Structures are given as structure tokens and as C-alpha cells.
Amino acid sequence: MARIADDSDFEALKRLVDNHDGWTLELSKSDTQVYTRPVPGCNFNMVKIHTEFTDVTADTVFDVLHDPDYRKVWDSHMLASEEIGILNVNNDVGYYASK
């Protein structure tokens, strides 16, 4: 069952960033690491990717990732993307299909 994320969920998400307990390193290249972790009761793994962009600000990365029109230009793996609905200022529901 899905629910609207609150501040405690955001704090838990921030803790996941640096904690690698229970995660499997699947790929490690110069500035990028990809980790996976099983999710109890789910057939999908949780995926965590850490990378470093030395030539662009975090604000720009956020804007580029969240701009649905511009993403069609640079994301060659995207088949379709659609905003389904906004639950509140911090939560939305969307659809993203990739190759």
C-alpha cells in the first residue's frame, strides 16, 4: 500500500545515502557506483546510485532530471513519461518507462 511520504520518511531516505549495510555493489566505475538491495515482500530490488558531477551544480542536476520536456531530449532510454498527479508539494505520482 502506498502512502504520502512525510518528514520521517525523508530522514530515513537521507540515512540510506551513506549506509551500505545490506546493499550489494553491482557496478563500480570511476565516479559511479550502483547498489541493489532486496525489498521484503516485493519482487523488485531497491536501487541506489552514487555518482559525482564535478562540472555541474546539484540544483542543475535536479532541474534537468525533473524537467519532463527536456528529459525527452537527453534521456535516450526513456520510452514514455507522464505526470499522473500531485499529492502535495513534496509528493507526486508519475509514470516512467525505459528501454
Give me the torsion for CA of 99, 48, 66, 81, rounded to 10°. Answer: 30
Full pLDDT tens readout for the chain, 99 residues: 678 999 999 899 999 998 999 999 999 999 999 999 999 999 999 999 999 999 999 999 999 988 888 988 999 999 998 889 998 888 888 898 998
Helix H or strand E encompassing 26: strand 24-29
Give me 75's grid cell.
Answer: 534521456
Calculate the CA 77 to chain-centre distance: 15
The residues spanned by each domain of the chain are: 1-52, 55-99
User: What local confidence, expressed as pLDDT, does residue 1 receive?
Assistant: 66
pTM for this one?
0.71
